[in-house]
Amino acid sequence: MSKMEPCPACRSTRVCVMRSLTETSAAGNLPKVYCLDCCCVGPVAETSDEAIRAWNAIPRAPVQPTKTLRDEFAMAALSGLMAGLENGHLAHDDAAQFAYDRADAMLKERENADD
């Protein structure tokens, strides 16, 4: 049996192959993949392997990275920087680099404070 990808709707790994109660063939009830968390249902297929392949073929949005403390510090630095600019004369790339430089400095100082 093929490995099942996480649910395309909620990213849960609690997914299983179930037999449909309504779609049948001469071989019996047809399989489909079902998410136990959000009830998302994959396409009905002739075999469990085909149901899993169809499930795995459903497009999934890219996973958004988790916001880190460094990101939080960079947002704070960027907010302060933008508030201090009267006409906003700073290139976007420069502003982002400045914000992350300040965030890195804050993280370094935080590590030093723990010593």
Q: Are 27 and 67 in contact (CB under 8 A)?
A: no
Q: How many domains does the chain have?
A: 2
> Are residues 23 and 79 both part of a single domain?
no
Residues 6 or more apart whose CB falls under 8 angstroms from that of 51 comprise: 17, 30, 31, 32, 33, 42, 43, 44, 45
User: Do 34 and 90 fall into the same domain?
Assistant: no
35 and 59, same domain (yes or no): yes
Read off the pLDDT of each residue in 58-71 and give the average, rounded to a whole number: 87
Same domain flag for 50 and 74 = no
Distance, C-alpha 103 to centroid of its chain: 24
E strands, the chain, are 15-25, 28-35
- Whether 6 and 57 share a structural domain: yes
Beta-bridge partners for 17:
33
Residue 39 banded pLDDT, cuts 50, 70, 90: very high
Q: What percent of the chain has pLDDT over 70?
A: 88
Which of residues 86 and 59 earns the better pLDDT score?
A: 59
Range of the domain at 46: 1-63
Average pLDDT of span 66-83: 87
Residues 27 and 50 in one domain: yes
pLDDT of residue 25: 79
Q: Where is the domain boundary, 63, 88, 104?
A: 63
**Own/partner long-range contacts of 29-32 (Cβ < 8 Å, ≥24 apart):** none
Q: Residue 51: its pLDDT value, please?
A: 94
The whole-number pLDDT of residue 88 equals: 58
**pTM exceeds 0.85:** no
